[in-house]
Structure 1
Amino acid sequence: MKKDLKFEDLPDAVGLLLQIVEFLEIELRTIKENLQTKVPLGLMKRNQVSQFFQINLATVHNWTKRGVLKSFGVGNRVYYKRKEIEDALVKLFR
């Protein structure tokens, strides 16, 4: 499907292309937001646990191995229940 473009038609064609690109960017952003994995309420990721306790990820790993924290695996991801994290905080400071 070949169309003959004249030099005087170029500004309109470029404007149309820019509108199409802007529309596609918005659509892609919407699709990306919908595809991102959502963490259910009440669950925390490892980095959130480390920020909560103000410790590094190695300490979170060690506490999990020692049974101080209980983790839950979903696929290849690790989550912690917020309630259990708060309970562990109380136990740590007794």
Structure 2
Amino acid sequence: MNLEIQIPESLTNDIKALKEKLANIELNLQPKQAPQYYTRKEVAKMFNVDLSTIHNWTVKGVLTAYQIGGRVLYKANDIENAIVELKK
């Protein structure tokens, strides 16, 4: 004896939408990676410039500095965003 169940199309669409929402929620629950920080010396070495240049870029707002205690740090993401593409 075979029983066939007819599922309305609207219910099928609702189930698909619910699955998509759950997938999005799962993506948002993934742990975020901790930002990587660099010291002034590391940033200076990265760009092959003097520490005074890093200080000047910070004062001008080219780089954003963060401080904890007496240490000045720069986020890797902020460093990458400070690099701009040249217009041709």
Give TM-score scaled by structure 1 length.
0.52
Q: Count matched residues.
A: 53
The runs of 4+ residues in structure 1 deviating greater than 6 Å are: none
Unmatched tracts of structure 1, length 5 or more: 1-39
**Percent identity at matched positions?**
38
1:67 maps to 2:61: yes
Q: For residues 41-69 of structure 1, give each alpha carbon's deviation from its aligned partner in whole angstroms, at most 9, with x where no partner exists.
A: 61000000001111100000000000000
Unmatched tracts of structure 2, length 5 or more: 1-33
Aligned to 1:42: 36
1:51 to 37, 45, 56: 45
CA distance in 1: counterparts of 2:68 and 2:49, whole angstroms = 23
1:79 to 69, 73, 81: 73
- Let me know the Cα RMSD of the aligned residues: 1.5
Q: Which has the higher helix share?
A: 1
Alpha-carbon contact 2:44-2:54 (below 8 Å) kept: yes
